[in-house]
């Protein structure tokens, strides 16, 4: 509207200029001063009055335009406002994090978006390790149990156990790889030069040894298993500690080759997520969840990363992004949850529950259901509460939106049901779970 008014007044100003110029003349007419005086404009006497009227109109128009612009809503930068709001939230959370670190309280590290209800806690995150026994316990306890198991077996099989300790008890994969490569290099040098003393001695204070080997768990046990002895030897005007391999041991190349093979072949012993299998009677609380904090909780380092992510997100509000940038952000969003609690509701309203990692594939849920079915050979399908049939078994639960908890409905494949009905078969299609699984049923 304001722009139309401006154009209107601009047109009026042009009309006034043309009228003040007079009646005009032909291109063939004489335009000398004498000619213009001989043909005075008949409206010359009225020009002062017209000029006055035009000036009044201009002032009035300008005043009207000012009033119209004053009534128009002022535009503001919504992206800037959003960025400012996010920054204020981040600063508040940062202050809370610093306070919690100074006081030693972990409360500020918990996310402030945890949704809970009045239902009892139905699941905890438990782990198992079939390689060492049937025990099921929280992750920290299971990791301690694995370390204790390795230390207990060290005396019986020192070479294999110490290699497993290096792979298992150290979390940084790059450091583990560097450590193993360095140990292999030491052994290769001894095999290639068994008679040379310098290859049989490893100075513990050596920079390479300190940076690549010394700090990792299991390395001291491995050196002893390889029959290196810790010895103090003179170096110039002082003494230093060395790992030294006896000359006779250095000649046993076959044994050294076996040690290398063991070190390279060993794989870490990791706790496995236990499904925490539960079976519930039909209940109206099937869709009620109270998710444990472990589904959400993050460390201070992860909390800082999340702050950085939100700062970047606020800056992206005012910029265009490529497809690759959007896909990277979507992948990061998928890692918001660590675990998911899934319930499978059968036609008789009995519920089978299991705990999964958020990034596990849908195929894991199908396998979990099948291994607990009484008729595990019959095909079946799973459908969400919204009617979506779950068929993309290569997608993760996070990608399918089945996090941090969800209920899916079980049904036998309609094709096989038609065949059974046509042949008047007597398959137990109304019995779903194995007897030993159904015996675990409890109230929700």
Q: Which of 217, 233, 265 is the last residue of a domain?
A: 265
Domain shared by 284 and 406, yes or no: yes
Q: Tell me whether the omega of the peptide bond preceding residue 404 falls within 30 degrees of 0, making it cis.
A: yes
Place of tokens 């970047």: 312
Domain count, the chain: 2
Domain shared by 383 and 289, yes or no: yes
Residue 83 to residue 66: CA distance in whole angstroms: 33
Q: Which of 207, 234, 265 is the last residue of a domain?
A: 265
In a domain, 61, yes or no: no
Place of tokens 């499978």: 344
Comparing 102-116, 249-263, 271-285, 404-418, the range with the smallest average pLDDT is 102-116
Per-residue model confidence as pLDDT tens digits over 145-156: 999 999 999 999
Domain shared by 285 and 422, yes or no: yes
In a domain, 323, yes or no: yes
In a domain, 399, yes or no: yes
**For helices 78-103 and 300-316, angle between their N-to-C axes, nearest 10 degrees:** 170
Domain shared by 253 and 191, yes or no: yes
DSSP E strands, 122-191: 127-129, 133-137
Total residues belonging to the chain: 444
Domain shared by 283 and 385, yes or no: yes
In a domain, 298, yes or no: yes
Residue 154 to residue 165: CA distance in whole angstroms: 9
Domain that holds residue 223: 127-265
Comparing 78-82, 173-177, 211-215, 275-279, the range with the smallest average pLDDT is 78-82
Distant-in-sequence, close-in-space partners of 1: CB < 8 Å, separation ≥ 6: 68, 72
Place of tokens 């460390």: 299
DSSP E strands, 190-310: 201-203, 228-235, 238-245, 272-273, 278-280
Comparing 37-46, 221-230, 409-418, the range with the smallest average pLDDT is 37-46
In a domain, 429, yes or no: yes
* Pure H helices in 169-241: 173-192, 207-209, 219-225
Mean pLDDT value across the chain: 78
pLDDT of residue 108: 41
In a domain, 14, yes or no: no
Domain shared by 370 and 301, yes or no: yes
CATH number (domain holding residue 397): 3.10.20.90
Residue 214 to residue 18: CA distance in whole angstroms: 95
Band of the pLDDT at 112, cuts 50, 70, 90?
Answer: very low
In a domain, 388, yes or no: yes
Domain shared by 361 and 391, yes or no: yes
Cα–Cα distance list, 326 to 58, 124, 166, 317, 331 (Å):
53, 34, 39, 12, 9
Domain shared by 322 and 287, yes or no: yes
Asked if pLDDT for residue 400 goes beyond 70, the answer is yes
Domain shared by 259 and 309, yes or no: no
Q: How far is CA 6 from the centre of its chain?
A: 54
In a domain, 74, yes or no: no
CATH number (domain holding residue 192): 1.20.58.2190
Domain shared by 293 and 237, yes or no: no
Q: Which of 265, 288, 310 is the last residue of a domain?
A: 265
Band of the pLDDT at 24, cuts 50, 70, 90?
Answer: low
Asked if pLDDT for residue 159 goes beyond 60, the answer is yes
Asked if pLDDT for residue 432 goes beyond 50, the answer is yes
pLDDT of residue 199: 94
Domain shared by 178 and 285, yes or no: no
Domain shared by 436 and 335, yes or no: yes
């Amino acid at each position: 509207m304001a722009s139309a008014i401006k154009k209107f007044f601009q047109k009026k100003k042009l009309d006034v200029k043309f009228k003040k110029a007079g009646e005009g003349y032909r291109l063939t007419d004489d335009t000398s001063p004498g000619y213009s005086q001989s043909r005075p404009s008949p409206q010359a006497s009225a020009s002062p009055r017209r000029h006055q009227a035009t000036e009044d109109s201009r002032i009035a128009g300008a005043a009207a335009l000012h009033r119209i612009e004053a009534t128009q809503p002022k535009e503001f930068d919504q992206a800037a406002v959003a960025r400012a709001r996010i920054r204020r939230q981040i600063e508040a959370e940062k202050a809370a994090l610093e306070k919690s670190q100074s006081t030693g309280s972990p409360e500020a590290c918990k996310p402030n978006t945890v949704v809970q209800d009045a239902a009892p806690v139905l699941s905890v995150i438990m782990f198992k390790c079939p390689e060492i026994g049937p025990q099921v316990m929280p992750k920290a306890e299971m990791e301690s149990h694995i370390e204790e198991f390795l230390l207990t077996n060290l005396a019986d099989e020192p070479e294999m156990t110490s290699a497993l300790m290096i792979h298992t008890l150290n979390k940084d994969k790059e450091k583990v790889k560097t450590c193993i490569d360095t140990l292999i290099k030491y052994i290769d040098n001894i095999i290639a030069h068994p008679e040379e003393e310098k290859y049989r001695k490893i100075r513990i204070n050596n920079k390479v040894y300190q940076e690549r080997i010394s700090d990792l768990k299991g390395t001291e046990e491995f050196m002893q298993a390889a029959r290196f002895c810790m010895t103090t030897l003179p170096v110039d005007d002082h003494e230093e500690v060395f790992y030294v391999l006896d000359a006779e041991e250095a000649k046993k190349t076959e044994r050294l080759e076996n040690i290398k093979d063991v070190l390279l072949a060993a794989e870490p012993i990791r706790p496995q997520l236990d499904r925490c299998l539960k079976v519930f009677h039909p209940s109206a609380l099937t869709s009620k969840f109270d998710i444990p904090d472990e589904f959400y909780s993050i460390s201070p380092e992860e909390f800082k990363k999340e702050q950085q992510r939100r700062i970047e997100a606020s800056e992206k509000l005012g910029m265009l992004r490529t497809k690759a940038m959007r896909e990277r952000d979507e992948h990061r969003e998928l890692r918001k949850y660590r675990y998911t609690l899934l319930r499978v509701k059968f036609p008789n309203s009995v519920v089978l529950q299991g705990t999964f990692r958020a990034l596990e594939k849908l195929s894991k849920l199908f396998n979990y259901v099948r291994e607990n079915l009484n008729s595990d050979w019959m095909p079946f399908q799973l459908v969400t509460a919204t009617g979506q049939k779950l068929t993309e078994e290569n997608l993760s639960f996070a990608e399918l939106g089945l996090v941090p908890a969800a209920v899916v409905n079980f049904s036998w494949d309609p094709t096989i049901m038609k065949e059974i009905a046509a042949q008047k078969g007597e398959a137990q299609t109304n019995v779903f779970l194995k007897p030993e699984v159904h015996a675990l049923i409890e109230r929700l």
